[in-house]
Chains A and B, each alone.
Chain A
Amino acid sequence: MTRWAIVADLNRCVGCQTCTSACKHANATAPGIQWRKVLDFEVGEFPDVSRAFLPVGCMHCDEPPCLDVCPSTATGKRDDGIVTIDYDKCIGCAYCAVACPYQARFRVDAPSSAYKGRKMRHEVLREDPTRIGVAQKCTLCIDRIDDGMAQGLTPGIDAEATPACVNSCIAGALYMGDVDDQDSNVSKLLKENRHFRMHEDLGTGPGIYYLYDGEIGDSSAIEPAPMVAEPAGLAAVSSQLQTSWDWRAAANFTFGGTGTGLFAATVLAATFAPMLWVAQFLAMAFVGVGLFCVWLEIGRPWRFLNVFLHAKRSWMTREAIAAGAFFAFGGLGWLLGSVPLAVLAVLSGFVFLYCQGRMLNAAKGIPAWRQKGVVSLLFSTGLTEGAGLLAILVAITGFEGSDLRIITLMLIGLVALRHILWRSYRTALGEVGAPLGTFNALDRGYLNLSTVSQTVILVLLVVGLFNPIALIVAAALAVVTGWAFKFTLITKAAFNQGFAIERMPARGAGKSATGIKPGWTTA
């Protein structure tokens, strides 16, 4: 087999950005988009400081998170390890962008020019409409590799078959070759030099290897780079708040959870009272609005049907299928007044809700999402919001036959469960660590799932067993805090993985040193 990989010798790299520029030329990337770039790291405190440069880009991972999440199968992986994107299939959902822990994926929604509004002739010449509104990233100059190999050339050896960044490197720091070939240039380098891969612990098997020391023979394992919450001057390489998914994506999780929860709560309540059919309609409307919002966010909205193409691995595809079932059963049940269909809709809604949780959880690029416990937490808050909304509806409409007390008790149980799951999630996140911004966002204020707010809700719910006004307030707070949590989780706590350098390289006769994971902390 062949496995193309990049080896970057950090002892050689000077951070000149020639590879960045060559990539921009070779691939005609838009202003501000850098498929390849070199990061500038600094470690230590004056006067004991070291600085190093780290080329990054798509890692063409062994287990690419972007591949698993892609709902359209636009992202592919070739046998030679190159991760590809089919621009004609991609719906531009940017799920891959949040799933990538290397911040390697981009979406450009409109043609742009270096000098605003005034396109240069080479920009016109190289404009590629197929790349608008879809995911894009380093291709490893796949055309050069394929064309070169077709001519009998060897990638990594012959310039015509080698990625532009490697070709351009003025320091001789970048190499490309087949790591499955034990005699290849890169295999030899890896045998002769100590090296690391970024975020190795995530299990992605990244395809960029960093040589940091020529000392061989010392096989001691590399300690994980220490987290430094607020390193001065490292904002550019630290974790950043993701911008791929905004309020529109958050609305899908918010309303989708509430809607499916409401539907389930309504059907459950019907076991001891008549069915509140209007609530079912409202539940489906919630889910529908959520999906509409996320449709507004995708780069190629009219290709939305491609979302169904990857049921085998993508939780987004599965969510879409579950949504279809939910609407089919729920809608039909509502039209026919069929309880069995409504039950099927509930089950579909549960699947939908579960898929939403798994969807977030599969986004390896966002530590707050990939944290164990996020699935049950999303599930529980969806049910809680649904139960809360049902309680409000029943309390306000005075729907005859419903036992408000049972609904209230159910809500008390769900709020308590949700809080327990939140505590569990937050504790676990604090133990493994996450970007500082994530903790700041999750812990800020009171309109969240914290003990204070949830205790207030529980107290009000207990009072609500006897006082409908208290119940309405408590239920509303249960819903709103759930929404606020999800909105925060998607848009404010969703700091990406950021970059890290496991070891600072030995420079010449110098020694390698401990690296840094900037912007991270435990709490």
Chain B
Amino acid sequence: MNKPANPTKQSVSSYCYQCVAGPDLLKVDMADGVPYQVRPNGSAEEIHPAGGKVCVKAFGLIQKTNNPNRILTPMMRTNPKKGRNEDPKFEPVSWDVALGEIAKKLNKAQADGLNDASGFPRVAASFGGGGTPTAYMGTFPAFLAAWGSVDMSFGSGQGVKCYHSEHLYGELWHRAFTVSPDTPLVNLVLSFGANVEASGGVCGVRRHADARARGVKRIQVEPHLSVTGACSADWVPIKPKTDPAFMFALVHVLLHEIPRTRLDIAFLKRRTSSPYLIAPNGFYLRDPASKKPLIWDLKSSGTVPYDTADTDPALEGDFSVSGLEVGPDDVEWAHGEVTCQPAFGHLVAHVKPYSPEWAADICDVKAARIRDTAMQYIDHACVGETIEIDGKTLPFRPVAISLGKTVCNGWGGYECVWARTLMACLIGGLEVPGGTLGTTVRLNRPADNRWSSVVEGPDGFMNYPMNPTKKGEWHESSASRHAHQTLVPLAANSPWSQALGPTHLAWMMQKEGLDHLPVPTQPDVWFVYRTNPAISFWDTDAVSDVMANFPFTVCFAYTHDETNHMADILLPECTDLEGLQLIRIGGSKYVEQFWEHQGFALRDPASKPQGEAKDFTWIATELANRTGLLEKYNSAINKGAAGIRLFGQGYDFSLDPEQVHSVEDIWNNTCRAASAEITDGEESQGLDYFRENGFRTKPFPKEQWYLYPAMVEKDLRFELPYQERLLRIGQELGARLHERGITWWDRQLMEYEAMPHWQDLQGLWETALSDAYNIKIGDYPFWLLTARSMQYSWGGNAGIQMIHEVAGNVAGHGGVLMNPAAAKTLGLAEGDQVEISSPSGKTRGAVLLRQGIRPDTLLMIGQFDHWKTPFAKDLKTPSMNNLTPMMLELTDATGSGSDLVKVAVKKIGAAS
């Protein structure tokens, strides 16, 4: 290749949405059409929460585009045998042949009925990156909408690598699919394993850096000193998976060791279920007429419905009362003159045993330190103070708690998210300035506005779209292979619900079905995009075996990888810098994406497609056309399936449903609709405008970062501390499952407690592993954990050399991290090659020593163990994924598990 003389230079606007903490708005510089540099989009400085800066991952996009390892032509498998050790013998084919083959399978699936004999969709799809692939797949969602029945239960990390309990309970309690401190105002953050400096994106990093600069105190509680721990004022090296004990002890201190007056009593009385009286069977005592929960009014010295005006609800005390109790399946008990306590009183009694002294041994943290942490929390809470936001006076509570992965998923997740949200309630710090906030909604609707999702539900709480559990309403089977509607009421049934079901069950059941559920069939067609579950899931050998048995797999393939090794068709789509798309930006989104603006941003191609790569929108249109779905597809686009509705009040840029539209036409109309939406129909500039400006926004009220004003406006309460609704659906679910003969979910049913009890999670893991694998758990002395890497997480960029190079500057990458004292006992030195084995799998790598990790803990950053992905397969980097078994015993009620396993370490070679 010759170097051109005097290349013509230009730049385009784009975005990076490789991770959930995006999008970052960026500029790409090109010379003679070759993209060579990514840089921040300076014009976004004023509207972007991080001043328009761009994450390190985005800088990998140049190599990602120009990578010589890319697949650049459609390919078809010629070896019908699938498996890791089988050469797929992919042969290049034309797009016409490849799409024709896919259309043939899809048309047959249509002819056979969209769902198979088990009621499962014949078409399945797996997308990675916490929903971010939608920012790159153009109009493919419209194709899926047009198709109608798609199974998205084959997870690529959802449930096992996410913040699962936070997602589900967070949405239930405060419309918080993800939870964040109000970082710009917070003064104290207790961070349990949250790794915001690695996974919070540029907004998270910038907000916390600004907070540190003004003197915020963050106490990081985690077994290893992560990047976030490094940036914290204090590090508490807690034993793995004992966070609930620490947090329960914090609650204990607040409720048993300080005066009540230091709590936000008004908040507890008016904005929580604290005053609701609890009847003898554990459900609310209700007014027999209205069936509203009753409270004890100190003013009138009697029971009144919770929403009675001018009351002073009691929070504690035994009251002799009468009323109605409504249990599962609407069973009713009439109570006359029974002694009842308000929920808060039950809470006080519930946490009495959980003192700091009790927690100290469990957590391996001194009681004084736990107690001091609780005192710091209350000392920073500013109970009674207010602040003005957008002209409105709101409570100001500058303390918050963050929870990380493994803390808030799997067993123990419920305890942690409950304690965290409860801690916020105790000081009136939930959804108020300075406190603990939700950032986005995914299960409730509408998804683009948290305030709008505040809809009145039963008993003074927000509504929640539970999967029904009542007799006659319960789904005996689900429209997914992981039974999310059947097993997990909290997973709801939004477009996101399948991703939030027990995704590992989908993989597990392909191996062995679960009694009394429909026969686990394979999908006729499986689409895979921007994910590599053969690496990113657990028990990767088993997952690979399952996908090797799928009859027809279509992978949108960037390079060869461990998943598309099992594919039948590989389709090279335009990568991030080649495709055209418009997305929504701003408002409040994942993680710490709190904007004061909202609008749209364009991904303008910085390069012509390499080889025969095609824009995803073109592919989607072709598939729709070849499957007879063009009209439905175009209609879906018009209705907003690709992100933006093309018509609204005073404007209509709908596509002609009958016609095949070009990629540019589709996005031009979308741009025009976006312009109209943002200007209330006043303007309608199209693609050219966005190409020139990159993005278009309007102000987003900061007040809407906080749910509290919407709760006050609708006079609603947060459903804490007492979970009557969960208690009810748990009992109903148990009844339904037992009626069907299902007893294998009984352990999970135990999670449906009104207030969670502490459980020995380390013991739970050890027992489960011992029983399942018939091993002596003492032979596996280390707890193995993982952590996110800012350079890699969600990026699908393990094959990008530059990312590998710069990540190497951050300690912990490329091996297994262990404490030097622990290493010494095993005769290990820095760089020694070791085999790390769990009861279910093995991996190999180099020993990396750091003092910032507990001696009983090992850490493997990121997800590796590649054997096919070019470049990555030569890294010899260990990964915990294949060491982590998929086990029903280690699956919680929400359907998630934790990245946690016990392992042994054996030296296999000296440092080279």
A interface residues (Cβ-Cβ under 8 A, vs B): 9, 11-12, 14-18, 20-22, 24-26, 28, 31-32, 34, 37-40, 42, 44-47, 49-53, 114-115, 118-127, 159-160, 164, 167-173, 214, 232-233, 235-236, 506-511
> A122: which B residues are within 8 A, CB to CB?
34-36, 62, 66
Report the separation of the CA atoms of residues A265 and B850 in the bound assembly, to the nearest whole angstrom: 55
B111 within 8 Å of A (CB atoms): no
CB-based contact A49/B235 at 8 Å: yes
Chain B residues within an 8 Å CB radius of A235: 830
| A-contact bits for B36-73, CB 8 A (1 contact / 0 none) | 11111010000000110111100110110011110000
| Residues on the A chain within 8 Å of B31, using CB | 125
Q: Give the CA-CA distance A32 to B854 in the complex, in Å.
A: 32
The answer to whether B67 and A508 have CB atoms under 8 Å apart is no
Q: Is there an interface contact between A125 and B227, defined as CB atoms closer than 8 Å?
A: no
A168 to B58, CA, bound (A): 11
Q: Which of B192-213 contact A (CB under 8 A)?
A: 197, 202, 205-206, 209-213
Name B171-229 residues within 8 Å CB distance of A: 197, 202, 205-206, 209-213, 215-218, 225, 227, 229
Query: A232's contact among B32, B197, B225, B849, by CB below 8 Å, is which?
Result: B849
Residue B392, interface by CB 8 Å? no
Asked whether, in the complex, the Cβ of B217 is within 8 Å of the Cβ of A509, the reply is yes
The answer, yes or no, to whether B458 is at the interface (CB within 8 Å) is no
Q: Across the interface, do B39 and A125 meet the contact criterion of CB distance under 8 Å?
A: no
* B821 sits at the interface (CB 8 A): yes
Question: Nearest-CB distance from B912 to chain A (Å)?
Answer: 13
Given contacts A11-B212, A15-B810, A170-B205, contact A26 B37 (CB under 8 A): yes
Contact A49 B227 (CB under 8 A): no
Distance (whole angstroms) from the CB of A144 to the closest CB of chain B: 11
Q: Does B126 contact A (CB under 8 A)?
A: no
Given contacts A173-B209, A232-B830, A508-B215, contact A37 B809 (CB under 8 A): yes
B59 lies within 8 A of A25 (CB): yes
- Size category of the B interface is 35 or more
B235 and A125: CB pair below 8 A?
Answer: no
Q: From residue B905, how far is it (CB to closest CB) to chain A in Å? A: 16
**In the complex the two chains form, what is the Cα distance from A111 to B834 in whole Å?**
35
**Which B residue sits closest to A119, measured CB to CB?**
B1
Residues on A with C-beta less than 8 A from B820 are 232-233
Known: A45-B851, A121-B66. A51 touches B2 (CB 8 A): no
Closest 7 CB pairs of A and B: A510-B233, A51-B230, A21-B59, A509-B217, A114-B801, A120-B66, A232-B820
Closest to A124 in B: B1
Report the separation of the CA atoms of residues A25 and B217 in the bound assembly, to the nearest whole angstrom.
35
Are A17 and B791 in contact, CB atoms less than 8 angstroms apart?
yes
Query: Is A170 within 8 A of B202, CB to CB?
Result: yes
The reply on B3 being an interface residue by CB < 8 A is yes
Bound-state CA distance A235–B849 (Å) is: 10
**What are 20 of the A-B contact pairs (CB < 8 Å)?**
A12-B209, A16-B56, A16-B791, A39-B809, A42-B811, A44-B851, A46-B237, A46-B855, A115-B870, A121-B66, A125-B34, A159-B42, A167-B40, A171-B209, A172-B51, A232-B830, A232-B851, A507-B218, A507-B232, A508-B211
Query: Measured between alpha carbons, how far is A173 from B208 in the docked complex, in Å?
Result: 12
**Would you call B56 and A21 a contact (CB within 8 A)?**
yes
A222 to B34, CA, bound (A): 50
A46 touches B811 (CB 8 A): no
Tell me which of A14, A24, A38, A114 contacts B205 (CB under 8 A).
Answer: A14
- A25 and B848 within 8 A (CB): no
Shortest beta-carbon distance from A85 to chain B in Å: 22
In the bound assembly, the distance between CA atoms of A46 and B364 in angstroms comes to: 13
A-B contact sample (4 more), CB < 8 A, given A25-B37, A233-B849: A114-B802, A124-B1, A171-B209, A236-B811
| Closest Cβ neighbor of A45 among chain B residues | B851
Task: State whether A12 touches B851 (Cβ < 8 A).
Answer: no
Q: Which of B1-48 contact A (CB under 8 A)?
A: 1-4, 7, 31-32, 34-40, 42
How long is the Cα–Cα vector from A235 to B54 in the complex, in angstroms?
30
Bound-state Cα–Cα, A510 to B39, Å = 33
* B231 at interface, CB cutoff 8 A: yes
Q: Is the CB of B68 within 8 A of A120?
A: yes
Chain A residues lying within 8 Å of B784, measured Cβ to Cβ, are none
Say yes or no: A18 contacts B1, CB within 8 Å.
no
A510 to B217, Cβ gap below 8 A? yes
For residue A38, which residues in chain B have a CB less than 8 angstroms away from its CB? 809
- Which A residues are CB-close (under 8 A) to B810? 15, 17, 40
Please tell me which one of the listed residues A14, A52, A124, A214 contacts residue B209 in the complex, with CB atoms under 8 A apart: A14
| Residue of A whose beta carbon sits closest to that of B218 | A508
CB pair B851–A508 under 8 Å, yes or no, is no
Complex Cα–Cα for A66 and B789 (A): 36
- Given A25-B59, A115-B871, A235-B830: A172 and B209 interface contact (C-beta under 8 Å): yes
> A22–B61 Cα gap in the complex (Å)?
12
Listed residue (A9, A31, A34, A171) with the most chain B CB atoms within 10 angstroms of its CB: A171
Report chain A residues within 8 Å CB of B805. 31-32, 34
Q: In whole angstroms, how far apart are the Cα atoms of A123 and B1 in the complex? A: 10
CB nearest to A158 among chain B residues: B42
Q: Which residue of B lies closest to A11 (CB)?
A: B212
B36 touches A25 (CB 8 A): yes
Q: Which residues of B contact A16 (CB under 8 A)?
A: 55-56, 197, 205, 790-791
**A49 contacts B851, CB within 8 Å?**
yes
In the complex, A91→B468 CA distance in Å? 78
Report the nearest A residue to B829, measured CB to CB. A232
- A171 & B56 in contact (Cβ 8 Å cutoff): no
Q: Give bound CA distance, A8 to B390, whole Å.
A: 34
B328 at the interface (CB under 8 A from A): no
Q: Which residues of A contact B658 (CB under 8 A)?
A: none
Of B62, B230, B870, which contacts A50 at CB under 8 A?
B230
Which residues of A are found within 8 Å of B69, using beta-carbon distances?
115
Complex Cα–Cα for A38 and B54 (A): 17
The answer on a CB contact under 8 Å between B809 and A17 is: yes
Q: What is the chain B residue whose CB lies nearest that of A211?
A: B213
B806 within 8 A of A: yes
Q: Which of B53, B217, B809, B830 contacts A170 (CB 8 A)?
A: B53
C-alpha spacing A45/B206, complex, angstroms: 30
B772-812 residues at the A interface, CB under 8 angstroms: 790-791, 801-802, 805-807, 809-811
Q: Which chain B positions have C-beta within 8 A of A53? A: 230
Contact A170 B232 (CB under 8 A): no
B-chain residues with CB within 8 Å of residue A127 when the two chains form the complex: 3
Across the interface, do B53 and A508 meet the contact criterion of CB distance under 8 Å?
no
B203 nearest CB across to chain A (Å): 9
Alpha-carbon distance A120/B800, docked complex (angstroms): 12
Residues in B whose Cβ lies below 8 Å from that of A214? 213, 215
- Once the chains bind, are B850 and A233 in contact (CB under 8 Å)? yes
- The interface residues of chain A lying within 8 Å CB-to-CB of B231 are 14, 507-508
Q: Pick the contact of B40 from A46, A47, A168 — CB < 8 Å?
A: A168
CB-CB < 8 A to A15: which residues of B? 227, 230, 809-810
**Chain B CB within 10 A, most for which of A20, A34, A121, A168:** A121
In whole angstroms, how far apart are the Cα atoms of A232 and B830 in the complex?
8
Complex formed: what's the CA distance from A38 to B230 in Å?
Answer: 14
Of A46, A120, A126, which contacts B854 at CB under 8 A?
A46
| Chain B residues with CB below 8 A from A233, complex form | 811, 820, 830, 848-851
Which residues 855-880 in B have Cβ within 8 Å of A in the complex?
855, 870-871
**By the criterion CB–CB under 8 Å, are B36 and A125 in contact?**
yes
For residue B681, CB closer than 8 A to chain A, the reply is no
Closest partner residue, chain B, to A117 (CB atom): B68
Residues of B within 8 Å of A236, CB to CB, are 809, 811
- Shortest CB–CB separation between residue B860 and chain A, in angstroms? 15
Q: Which of A52, A125, A509 contacts B4 (CB 8 A)?
A: A125
* Set of chain A residues within 8 Å of B218, measured between Cβ atoms: 507-508
Q: Which residues of chain B are near A159, meaning CB under 8 Å?
A: 40, 42
Do B39 and A22 touch across chains, with their CB atoms under 8 A apart? yes
* Cα(A123)–Cα(B855), bound, Å: 45
Q: Is B715 an interface residue (CB 8 A)?
A: no
Tell me whether B408 is interfacial, beta carbon within 8 Å.
no
- A12-B212, A508-B218 known; A25 vs B232 contact (CB < 8 Å): no
Q: Chain B: which residue is nearest A122 at the CB level?
A: B36
